[in-house]
Amino acid sequence: MVTCDLKYLTDAIVKLDVKNIGNLVHEAIAAGTRPLEILKALNMGMEEVGQRFQKNEYYLADLIMAGETMNEALKVLAPYLKVEKGKIKGKVVLGTIEGDLHDIGKNIVKTMLSSAGFEIYDLGIDVPPKKFAEKAKEVGASVIGVSALLSTSVPTTAKVVEELTKSGIRTKVKVIIGGGAVRKWNIEKFGVDDAVNDVVEGVKIIRSWMED
């Protein structure tokens, strides 16, 4: 639970106050607040934004702005977190599948998971299936999140599962695909563990896997 005197940080995220969030974090640090407590307050703001999005009170543009606000806060906070680093909750590999250049949803997921204490390896856009498997094996990731906004790129996600199988780590790594063209029937068709077209729901699923 975040203390009352840090609620202003939570509120700044919810109010999408990208202009002032950096100064607010500076002030909290100067006041002697522990970096992990600041991070907790910021993360609560991101969770509130996610809840409002699911209730249709916030829209995609608000999610993007919340992500930008969080990133501005983390620019200030990151050096202090290196000194006082909490236990990593798990490792996640993210990327937009080969043939797709969209990254808005991926970036929102990255911000929300990073702020919640997960170690993220972002491969960027237009990522070949083999690269997902190689990175997961290299870093010991438990989850791969594949962004696929275009209907033409969604089927390529099946190859990520194939590459994991070839690498002998399919049983150790869960795969979730997300994007506007993704549907639940993709789970069975492409052999993934879950499929969502809602970034907040995707974050919830990944967190539930990692925190089990």
Note whether 39 and 45 are within 8 A (CB).
Answer: no
Q: Which of 17, 100, 122, 194 is catalytic?
A: 100
Closest CA to 156 of 123, 134, 189, 184: 189
Is 26 among the catalytic positions?
no
Report the pLDDT value the prediction gives residue 121, as an integer from 0 to 100: 97
Active-site residue 100, yes or no?
yes
Higher-confidence position of 108 and 146:
146
For residue 169, pLDDT over 60 is answered with: yes
Of 102, 103, 114, 147, which one is the catalytic site residue? 102
pLDDT at 86: 56
Residue 2 pLDDT level (bands cut at 50, 70, 90) = very low
**Residue 85: what pLDDT?**
52
Provide the pLDDT for residue 113.
87
**pLDDT for the residue numbered 200:** 79
58-67, Cβ contacts within 8 angstroms, sequence gap of 24 or more: 60/104, 62/16, 63/108, 63/199, 63/200, 64/104, 64/108, 65/16, 65/18, 66/13, 66/14, 66/16, 66/108, 67/107, 67/108, 67/111, 67/112
Q: What does each C-alpha distance from 39 to 1, 30, 49, 96, 210 come to in angstroms? A: 12, 15, 15, 27, 19
114, 115, 147, 153: the active-site residue: 153
Q: Which residue has the higher pLDDT, 199 or 97?
A: 97
Can you tell me the mean pLDDT for 178-186? Answer: 91
Segment 40-60, tens digit of pLDDT: 899 889 889 888 988 899 988
| pLDDT confidence of residue 89 | 82
Q: How would residue 145 be classed by pLDDT, with cut points 50, 70 and 90? A: very high
Domains of the chain: 4-83 (1.10.1240.10), 91-211 (3.40.50.280)
State whether the Cα torsion 109-111-112-117 is positive or negative: positive
Q: Which two tokens stand for residue 99?
A: 């043939």
Q: What is the chain's mean pLDDT, rounded?
A: 89
